[in-house]
Amino acid sequence: MSSKPHPDSLKAGQIAGRVLHEVFREVRPGVKVLHICTLAEHRIAEYGARPAFPCNVSINNEAAHYSSPYQDTRVFPERGLVKVDLGANVNGHLSDTAKTVDLDGSYEKFIIAAETALDAAIDIVRPGIKLGDIGEVIEKAIKAEGLKPVHQLSGHQLKPNNLHAGKNVPNVKIHVTEKMQLGETFAIEPFATDRSGRIKAAREAYIFSNDIRNRKKVDRIALQVRNLARRSFGTVPWASRWLYDLKNDFEFEIPLKTLVRVGAFHPYPVLLEAEDGMVSQAEHSVFVSEEGAIVTTKYDD
């Protein structure tokens, strides 16, 4: 394993960190969620990368996976928590980073809990550290603010062309014997809530991925959509609204449902806190070096 991040991995991290910093400042009451999603994705492309996945902009009890559908009219409320989660792809090398906006200053402890937990986790990253030990420090930091970790969500290993690769990074103390090894890259992402810390899936899904091996027979229209998605997005997750960017005179709703039903498309439902608790998130991508963590998505203004 290399003791230094690949240059493309560093570039992917730098772009994601810069874009998150820029779009974060645009999140305020009354602004359209769609504006933030498209702004983030356009900036990633402008700086020389592709989105590693659709920009997630999840509000209040939504923990993850809300990305604006086509012609989304949703706007940010006057108060609450907004998670902006994005990543960049440079020649297959991926980054993943997130931050939470407190829209009116009412939820400061949620921000502190997630960010303190992330910092505490990064501080102990080193070759040979048990992933369960990472979860323990995350849980302790969140509980110190009187909140609970969202235990059903976790961080994840990053590999070229694979956003969720192999090992998971828990957000609670559990018995995990797997370790971080020299040269590996992880996205560490604590989530904090004021309720149970369990997750439920909503009916809605706006993010999908292709099952490239799926050969199920479908009607002619669905076949066209399946081929379009495979040709355009390959194996990376994509947003349903991206289809309209490619073919805006087409109605995708019915073929989308057909292709999900036959397993050609894998949906990522919007994830909600099970008791509708408020949720905050903080995330960085880190490379495991001999000296500890190299945070590739850190941005210095």
Residue 189 bears catalytic tag: yes
Q: Which of 72, 115, 136, 189 is catalytic?
A: 189
Q: Which of 133, 164, 211, 276 is catalytic?
A: 164
Q: Which of 8, 72, 85, 145 is catalytic?
A: 85
**Sign of the dihedral through C-alpha 259, 264, 265, 269:** positive
Token look-up 């909503």 returns 202
Residue 21 bears catalytic tag: no
Residue 62 bears catalytic tag: no
62 - beta bridge partners? Answer: 272
Distance CA 7, CA 203 (A): 40
Q: Taking a C-beta distance cutoff of 8 angstroms, is the pair 100, 283 a contact?
A: no
Residue 85 bears catalytic tag: yes
From residue 86, give the alpha-carbon distance in Å to each of 57, 65, 107, 127, 252.
9, 11, 22, 26, 25
Residue 102 bears catalytic tag: no
Q: Which of 145, 156, 194, 284 is catalytic?
A: 156
E strand or H helix that includes residue 220: helix 220-233
Residue 164 bears catalytic tag: yes
| Strand 81-86 relative to strand 97-102, pairing | antiparallel
Q: Which of 65, 136, 283, 284 is catalytic?
A: 283
Q: Which of 8, 62, 72, 96 is catalytic?
A: 96
Active-site positions? 85, 96, 156, 164, 189, 283
